[in-house]
């Protein structure tokens, strides 16, 4: 009795995977949905945007509030060493 549910679930999973692989699952589900009144036709709207949206360039400074921005003209970097001038 304990393995009955296990084998039932294994059979159901294999049947669903087989029906999906042979392209029989979607029509069967659509027919079932039509029989119970839940069917909605597939969306035919073109999903390309009506205008070009340029990609945003990655910039880590945009994530930091302006109050915490480092002064860009007073920082000199040389390989691993960073020296900050305090004259500014």
pLDDT value, residue 87: 57
- Contact criterion met (CB below 8 Å) for 12 and 20: no
Statement: the pTM of the whole predicted model exceeds 0.75: no
Distance CA 43, CA 32 (A): 19
pLDDT in tens, 23-74: 999 999 999 999 999 988 887 777 777 788 777 666 655 566 667 766 666 5
Q: How confident is the model at residue 82 (pLDDT cuts 50, 70, 90)?
A: low
Distance CA 77, CA 83 (A): 6
Closest CA to 76 of 64, 67, 86: 86
Q: At what angle are helices 2-21 and 25-36 packed, to 10 degrees?
A: 110
Other beta carbons within 10 Å of 56:
7
């Amino acid at each position: 009795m304990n393995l009955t549910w296990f084998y039932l679930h294994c059979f159901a999973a294999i049947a669903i995977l087989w029906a999906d692989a042979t392209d029989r699952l979607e029509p069967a589900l659509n027919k079932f949905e039509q029989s119970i009144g839940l069917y909605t036709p597939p969306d035919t709207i073109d999903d390309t945007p009506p205008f070009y949206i340029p990609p945003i360039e990655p910039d880590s400074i945009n994530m930091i509030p302006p109050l915490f921005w480092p002064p860009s003209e007073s920082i000199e970097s040389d390989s691993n060493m960073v020296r900050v001038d305090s004259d500014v």
